[in-house]
Amino acid sequence: MILMTIMKGKIFCLYIAVLFSVNSLAQKAGNTSGENSFFPILAWDDVRDAATIKKMADCGINLIAFVPPAFLDVCQANKVKAILFDDKVTPRWDSAFNAVKGTPAIRELVKKYNRHPAVFGYHLKDEPDGNQLSELGKTARLVNEIAPGKWAYINLPPGMGGWYDSTYVQLFVDQCKPMFISYDNYPIGESDRHGFSWGYWANMWDIRSASLRNNIPFHTILLTAAHFGYRSPTFNDLMLQVYGALAYGAKGLGYYKFVGETLHLMEAPELGNWNGAPLDEFHDINPVPYYNMKRMNKRVQALAPVLLNLKSTDVYHMGGDSIPQRNHSITDSSLIQGMEAGTAFIIGEFTHTKDNSKWIMIVNKDLKASTFVRPKFSSKINPASIKILSHVTGRLIDWPGIWYSLEPGQGVLLKVEVIPGS
């Protein structure tokens, strides 16, 4: 992620950086808790005081990327999980990972802290190039062995194309045996306040493909603080990144960043023009972005019990200037065959892994205008069956037909029934 930021996050930078609910549960679907209800919402920040951790937790953050052992109790008190960080494991931001140094340190960390309730994983490396994956694999596989169920945290850089999916990401999977595939991509720039990079969708297509092929859930890290030439995200920008990722089947979200400051570890270089983060450089609350993120997180958590049990079966784009590379438009088998209103959409189709029910997420990809949601459903869909999963209560509510609208970037999750034999 630091490397992506340094290179201004353009997709081409990676060519340089990388070498190589049971049945329907009636009206209560999604309104569950406990088992399988943890949907990671990560702050990609280091923490150095209890007050910052509390502000993160109050905003809906439930996982932090760089936590020193001294703050594990604070995380637990605030019901936040931790990726444990130790500079004896994770090298300087631009240095290669060294298993000879990292592995003994990991053994010691696991011995001391693995039973702590706040520990979710161990931070290994951000944006490694392909030459580091063999070394990382040695330590990552050790974490899997001696700390089963904990994440050997490695975050991948952005990219797209067959080489990225089948060579780099697959090599990472083969070498590191990850619990999750995590990567970052930042699609919004200052030059166009409504612009959104098509590379975000191309990158996500390839990550989704690797995720499905290997049966490993994926997490995406998105932009929540302006720096360099990236713009300060509006709520609509935030929604399109989040709902878009959910439409592709993401099972975790990360925010870069929560605090508008450069990391105070890994000898990360000062970037200078941070702005628009939920907390500013003095760790004071920035009211608008803090509220926007808190609101978004509440929506995600309301949907989470269902989202965590959905398997992506297709995702496609509709309208707009063009279909993003690596992606496709409507096909004959698509559950939605068009829209009677609006200009550009992302449609994600899912099957619930527990009851085999069918779900559809519709996202308004137009960042300039709200739109009515008036799908032309496939003849396979029973129109009387359509329900909305409320992003407020997590309960199923009636589909209002032609009256439902989405603001720019917003998404909606529908439950539908496919007519038997259709």
164-189 pLDDT, tens digit each: 999 999 999 999 999 999 999 999 99
Whether residue 31 lies inside any domain: the answer is no
The answer, as to whether pTM is greater than 0.75, is: yes
104 and 165 co-located in one domain: yes
267 and 351 co-located in one domain: no
Last residue within a domain, chosen from 307, 341, 360: 307
Q: Flag whether pLDDT at 18 surpasses 90.
A: no
Whether residue 11 lies inside any domain: the answer is yes
Among candidate residues 354, 406, 360, the one with its CA nearest the CA of residue 32: 354
Last residue within a domain, chosen from 261, 276, 307: 307
- Cβ atoms of 293 and 279 within 8 Å: the answer is no
Predicted local distance difference test score (pLDDT) of residue 130? 96
199 and 290 co-located in one domain: yes
315 and 303 co-located in one domain: no
Last residue within a domain, chosen from 307, 341, 376: 307
Domain that holds residue 355: 310-416
Q: 133 pLDDT band (50/70/90 cuts)?
A: very high
Q: Flag whether pLDDT at 54 surpasses 90.
A: yes
In total, how many domains does the chain have?
A: 2
Predicted local distance difference test score (pLDDT) of residue 75? 98
194-245 pLDDT, tens digit each: 999 999 999 999 999 999 999 999 999 999 999 999 999 999 999 999 999 9
Q: What CATH number does residue 10 fall under? A: 3.20.20.80
Amino acid letter, residue 326: R
Q: Which residues contact 413 (CB under 8 A, 6 or more apart)?
A: 246, 303, 306, 307, 359, 360, 361, 388, 389, 391
- Cβ atoms of 64 and 47 within 8 Å: the answer is yes
Among candidate residues 191, 173, 177, 155, the one with its CA nearest the CA of residue 63: 155
Q: Say which residue, 329 or 193, is predicted with more confidence.
A: 329
125 and 59 co-located in one domain: yes
Place of tokens 């096909």: 331
Rounded mean pLDDT of 343-363? 98
Q: 351 pLDDT band (50/70/90 cuts)?
A: very high
Rounded mean pLDDT of 247-276? 97
Whether residue 422 lies inside any domain: the answer is no
Q: Flag whether pLDDT at 88 surpasses 50.
A: yes
Whether residue 28 lies inside any domain: the answer is no
For residue 257, whether the previous peptide bond is cis, meaning omega lies within 30 degrees of 0, is yes
347 and 317 co-located in one domain: yes
80 and 209 co-located in one domain: yes
365 and 284 co-located in one domain: no
288 and 320 co-located in one domain: no
300: how many CB neighbours lie within 10 A of its CB? 18
265 and 326 co-located in one domain: no
208 and 224 co-located in one domain: yes
Whether residue 117 lies inside any domain: the answer is yes
Whether residue 421 lies inside any domain: the answer is no
Predicted local distance difference test score (pLDDT) of residue 37? 82
Q: 151 pLDDT band (50/70/90 cuts)?
A: very high
Whether residue 207 lies inside any domain: the answer is yes
Whether residue 171 lies inside any domain: the answer is yes
42 and 66 co-located in one domain: yes
Among candidate residues 202, 219, 132, the one with its CA nearest the CA of residue 165: 202
